[in-house]
A and B are shown apart, each in its own frame.
Chain A
Amino acid sequence: MLRFASVTKRFTLGDRRSVLALDGIEFSLRPCEWVVMLGENGSGKSTFFRLVTGEVLPDSGEIWVNGDNVSHVPPHRRARFVTHIHQSREVGLPRALTVAEVMRLAIEAGRLELKGGIRDDEIAQRLETIRKGLSRIIREQVWHLSGGEHQLLSLAVAAALADSQTSGAHILLLDEHVAHLDPVSYDTVMESTSTLVRGKGMSAIMATHSCEMASSFGDRQVLLSHGRIVDSRSGADRLSAKELKDVLVNIEGGRGLRLDQL
């Protein structure tokens, strides 16, 4: 599905310093697999995601998706196999559009010609699939949505984008998408996330700082530190929240931020 072959990315910080964000990453994601990615701030999770979406390009190494080398494919052409859900609303959904307008754009994304347009009840039904009762927000503008509603809509958009592709194979990137939510919204959004990923058989990578989340969701735990994958556990080997926390504390205590002098 998705494969990183010794991918390296270094950022120049100016002042002739640079930081090695990802250091020869080898990673592969199987179809329908849900990976949870943990790691301290600056460990390379965001860079990893941005390499998948094409926002940044690798210095060396290759990124493969569904058997194609996509290392240098521009971001908008990666939309057919990847959808990124952010924590921040600033880079998420268009703010001034209504929910119906956003959904319409997502549904028609992959198609060139539309037969008869998209009716409101189809949109309402798609929203209901994500969460019962969600169709009540259909007339709202995006910036009037609550944090939880916004993320539920993001999931509905991701589902619509995945559906609009004929190939069906779709990668969902969840970048701390529940980190800012209150406990009730957190439960709601995670429940819907679970239903969506499992129900549609999507492949997902979820970045998080929460050890509880990492132990209760997903098939595989991947630990990232200083641009390297330091641990990967699936099935019965997966760590509990407490064990994960101990591992993270050990990693962080062991090394400081590495700024290589060029």
Chain B
Amino acid sequence: MLDSLLNLSLAALLVGLLYAPITLGLAISFRLLNYPDLTCEGSAIIGATVCFMLIQAGAPSWISLLGAALAASIAGAFTAVAHSQLGVPKVLSGIVTTALLYSITLRLLGGKSNRMTTRSTVFDILNRGNSGRMDLVVVAGVVATLLGVLFFLYRSSLGRTLRVLGDTRWFCVSIGRSPTMYLILGLAISNAVIGLGGAMIVHFKRAVDVNMVFGLLISGLAGLVIGETIYSARSVWVHSAMCVVGSCLYNAAVGFFYFDWNPTLTKLMLPSDVRFLTGLLLIIPSVIILRFKNRYRLFGSDW
């Protein structure tokens, strides 16, 4: 029992880290930019698909990851352009992009909704023994690298301007920065991070499946809210770290929910119940934040 609980915890940590980029990307759009960007599921699947195509074409792993980030960043930039230049309302802009991307993705996959790769992925290359522990090290390495990149982004004038844009748009203008330009840049960055998350999942599962992204938005947001609830960060950098922690805790909660505690209980549960649990995991932290109003608020975010 204890042994399987330990294994479960390690598995939850692995999955949590694997999905952490999604939460980190959502933190940029929902918190820094204060933009309810619903492109998430679209950019994750386009990232995953492009990554898959590149793996199939025999490209090195790092190129497949970069390609995925690039494709997803174009999706994010498109969302920003749809809102700022074409007048599509904020909430709709991401939905529109996701709809467009769904068709593009299916075309790229040749009309199939899921495909497996026969080529080796980053996990096969770095983890020849195929041990679970080594998988964890690989994913942790990628997430650590991502956190490092974000750390430099937040310290830069670009990162500070993105935070200002989400907080008080007019001040962004006052300091001579174009809000439109920075919105496009910001959503491109946030979706690139999400696309990278999608690509990591492809590398891990050695397959791409259009259905794998359904529910990604809400689980990513649950990770974000859980991370914020257990510790209210005073710097954007710590906030990012808490997003990773939140993503791990969310996946741990899901893992423990499905753990075989009692055979009769297990029989009662359906795999689809996970969405209900996710909903609860979003509501409970929100209630806690609502009750403790004197917390440090790092962002002027409305979402």
**Of B104-112, B169-177, B252-260, B270-278, the one with at least 4 CB within 8 A of chain A:** B169-177
A94 with B177: CB separation less than 8 A: no
Q: Which of A77, A96, A108 contacts B297 (CB 8 A)?
A: A96
Complex CA–CA separation, A119 to B300 (angstroms): 25
A94-B173 contact in complex given A74-B178, A76-B178, A76-B179, C-beta closer than 8 Å = no
A105-B164 contact in complex given A76-B173, A79-B175, A110-B176, C-beta closer than 8 Å = yes
B52 to chain A, nearest CB (A): 39
A84-B174 contact in complex given A94-B300, A95-B167, A108-B157, C-beta closer than 8 Å = yes
Instruction: List A133-159 residues whose CB lies under 8 Å from chain B.
Output: 141, 143, 157
> Is B299 located at the chain interface by the 8 A CB criterion?
yes
B167 with A97: CB separation less than 8 A: yes
B174 with A79: CB separation less than 8 A: yes
> Is A52 located at the chain interface by the 8 A CB criterion?
no
B1 to chain A, nearest CB (A): 46
B176 with A97: CB separation less than 8 A: no
> Is A109 located at the chain interface by the 8 A CB criterion?
yes
For residue B297, which residue of chain A has the nearest CB? A96
B171 with A94: CB separation less than 8 A: yes
For residue A113, which residue of chain B has the nearest CB? B157
Complex CA–CA separation, A105 to B171 (angstroms): 10
| Residue from A93, A104, A108, A161 whose CB has the most chain B CB atoms within 10 Å | A93
> Is B295 located at the chain interface by the 8 A CB criterion?
no
Complex CA–CA separation, A143 to B100 (angstroms): 40
B176 with A96: CB separation less than 8 A: no
Interface contacts (Cβ under 8 Å), in number, total: 62
> Is A120 located at the chain interface by the 8 A CB criterion?
no
B170 to chain A, nearest CB (A): 5
Complex CA–CA separation, A193 to B160 (angstroms): 28
> Is B280 located at the chain interface by the 8 A CB criterion?
no
Which residues in A have their C-beta under 8 angstroms from that of B161? 105
Complex CA–CA separation, A77 to B180 (angstroms): 13
Which residues in B have their C-beta under 8 angstroms from that of A80? 176
B163 with A79: CB separation less than 8 A: no
Instruction: List B270-303 residues whose CB lies under 8 Å from chain A.
Output: 297-300
> Is A24 located at the chain interface by the 8 A CB criterion?
no
Complex CA–CA separation, A102 to B171 (angstroms): 9
A93 with B168: CB separation less than 8 A: yes
For residue B160, which residue of chain A has the nearest CB? A105
Which residues in B have their C-beta under 8 angstroms from that of A157? 174
Interface size of A by CB at 8 A reads 29
Which residues in B have their C-beta under 8 angstroms from that of A221? none
Interface size of B by CB at 8 A reads 21
Complex CA–CA separation, A65 to B176 (angstroms): 16
Which residues in B have their C-beta under 8 angstroms from that of A110? 176
Complex CA–CA separation, A220 to B236 (angstroms): 47
B174 with A83: CB separation less than 8 A: yes
For residue B155, which residue of chain A has the nearest CB? A117
A142 to chain B, nearest CB (A): 9
Complex CA–CA separation, A242 to B177 (angstroms): 44
Complex CA–CA separation, A163 to B297 (angstroms): 31
A95-B157 contact in complex given A79-B175, A109-B175, A161-B174, C-beta closer than 8 Å = no
For residue B299, which residue of chain A has the nearest CB? A96
A91 with B170: CB separation less than 8 A: yes
Q: Which of A79, A90, A102 contacts B173 (CB 8 A)?
A: A79
A76 with B164: CB separation less than 8 A: no
Complex CA–CA separation, A106 to B298 (angstroms): 20
B176 with A94: CB separation less than 8 A: no
> Is A75 located at the chain interface by the 8 A CB criterion?
yes
Complex CA–CA separation, A53 to B300 (angstroms): 24
For residue A165, which residue of chain B has the nearest CB? B176
Complex CA–CA separation, A116 to B90 (angstroms): 38
| Residue from B160, B161, B174 whose CB has the most chain A CB atoms within 10 Å | B174
Which residues in A have their C-beta under 8 angstroms from that of B168? 90-95
B167 with A76: CB separation less than 8 A: no
Q: Which of A96, A109, A161 contacts B300 (CB 8 A)?
A: A96
- For B81-109 the 0/1 string (1 means CB < 8 A from A) is 00000000000000000000000000000
Listed A/B pairs (19) with beta-carbon separation below 8 Å: A74-B178, A76-B173, A76-B177, A79-B174, A79-B176, A80-B176, A84-B174, A90-B168, A94-B163, A95-B168, A96-B167, A96-B299, A97-B167, A105-B161, A106-B175, A108-B157, A109-B175, A109-B176, A141-B297
Known A105-B161, A161-B175; 10 more pairs at CB < 8 Å: A76-B176, A92-B171, A94-B168, A96-B299, A97-B164, A102-B171, A105-B171, A106-B175, A109-B175, A143-B300
Point out residues on B near A: beta carbons under 8 Å.
157, 160-161, 163-164, 167-168, 170-179, 297-300
Point out residues on A near B: beta carbons under 8 Å.
53, 74-77, 79-80, 83-84, 90-97, 101-102, 104-106, 108-110, 141, 143, 157, 161
